[in-house]
């Protein structure tokens, strides 16, 4: 008789509450990069931009802990909540003479992943950095004893999540070109050069008004894909809706009696408010 499988604790990275405190001593000689905070709504959430991605990642590392995911999920009512790190990658097609800017959109089916996000519309691809990413980094290093940074872990895990969750359905060679633009892969765990993520990084989202957002922090990245490409979700519990405008996303959700994921709504609203001509009608709809 086979012995039951042993379930080991899942350890993931999280940022201490001191991360966004400018007077925190935990940064040592590091100082919090210049930041611009937008969209604060009665303390419900904030969108935070930084002027130096590399400095931000170095500073974050000084406020980083690794903890059991189960424990982190149970600390919601604690006064000081570590926030689980979750890269949030948004793919879009640029505005053309025929179409406004459109975002790759999917919907979470019931029974898959985080139950609190079930049936909601989303434009964000990604997941928690995991121990497999640290192993992948070690296997790709020269000495195999190299100490890897928080930035490397975030970007390595992002590559893995993107290639696990998304595929190109009509012109595979174009999707290969996108992957090659980010660099060569190491097995099924890809390595994306940091310069590309540096260019794609946009802002952080911190939420205080819902159970999921309260214990997470979103690192939002924006990636442009070619007009000819059609993407689809690989996971059967994710329903692909293709590339939609923000107005189409909110309209479909409303017609179906569904919700739009809060990070998606707030990311699209923030992008729209930055003066994009395609986004002015979206800001009111997303609010």
Place of tokens 């059967």: 236
CA dist 142 and 119 (Å) reads 44
pLDDT tens for the chain, 287 residues: list them.
555 554 556 888 899 988 876 554 444 445 666 666 665 556 788 888 887 888 889 889 888 888 888 888 876 665 578 899 999 999 999 887 778 899 999 998 876 666 666 689 999 999 888 877 766 666 655 444 445 788 888 988 888 888 888 887 765 555 565 555 544 443 333 444 555 788 889 999 988 888 888 889 999 999 888 888 888 998 888 899 999 999 999 999 999 999 999 999 999 998 888 644 333 344 445 55
Supply the pLDDT for residue 8. Answer: 53
> How many other C-beta atoms can be found within 10 angstroms of the C-beta atom of residue 25?
7
Task: Decide: helix, strand or coil at residue 187.
Answer: coil
Task: Report CA 169 to chain centroid distance, whole Å.
Answer: 23
β-pair partners for 3:
none
Place of tokens 């604060």: 40
CA dist 12 and 170 (Å) reads 35
pLDDT digits over 108-142, tens only? 887 666 666 668 999 999 988 887 776 666 665 54
- pTM for this entry: 0.82
User: Structural domains in the chain?
Assistant: 27-286 (3.90.79.10)
Long-range pairs for 74-79: beta carbons < 8 A, 24 or more residues apart: 75/215, 76/211, 76/214, 76/215
């Amino acid at each position: 008789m086979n012995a039951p499988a042993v379930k080991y604790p899942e350890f993931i990275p999280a940022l201490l509450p001191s991360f966004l405190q400018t007077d925190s001593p935990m940064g040592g000689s590091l100082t919090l990069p210049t930041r611009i905070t937008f969209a604060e709504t009665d303390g419900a959430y904030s969108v935070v931009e930084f002027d130096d991605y590399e400095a931000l990642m170095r500073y974050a590392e000084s406020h980083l802990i690794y903890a059991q995911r189960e424990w982190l999920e149970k600390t919601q009512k604690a006064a000081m909540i570590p926030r689980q790190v979750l890269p949030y990658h948004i793919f879009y097609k640029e505005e053309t003479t025929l179409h406004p800017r459109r975002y790759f959109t999917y919907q979470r089916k019931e029974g898959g992943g985080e139950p609190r996000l079930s049936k909601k519309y989303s434009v964000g691809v990604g997941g928690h950095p995991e121990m497999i990413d640290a192993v992948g980094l070690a296997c790709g290093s020269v000495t195999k004893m190299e100490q890897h940074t928080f930035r490397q872990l975030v970007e390595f895990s992002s590559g893995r999540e993107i290639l696990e969750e998304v595929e190109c359905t009509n012109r595979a060679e174009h999707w290969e070109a996108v992957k090659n633009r980010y660099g060569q892969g190491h097995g099924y765990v890809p390595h994306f050069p940091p310069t590309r993520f540096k260019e794609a990084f946009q802002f952080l989202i911190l939420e205080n008004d819902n159970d999921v957002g309260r214990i997470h922090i979103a690192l939002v990245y924006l990636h442009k894909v070619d007009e000819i490409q059609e993407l689809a979700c690989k996971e059967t519990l994710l329903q692909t809706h293709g590339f939609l405008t923000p107005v189409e996303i909110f309209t479909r959700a409303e017609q179906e009696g569904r919700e739009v994921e809060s990070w998606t709504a707030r990311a699209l609203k923030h992008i729209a408010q930055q003066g994009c001509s395609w986004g002015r009608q979206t800001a009111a709809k997303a609010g």
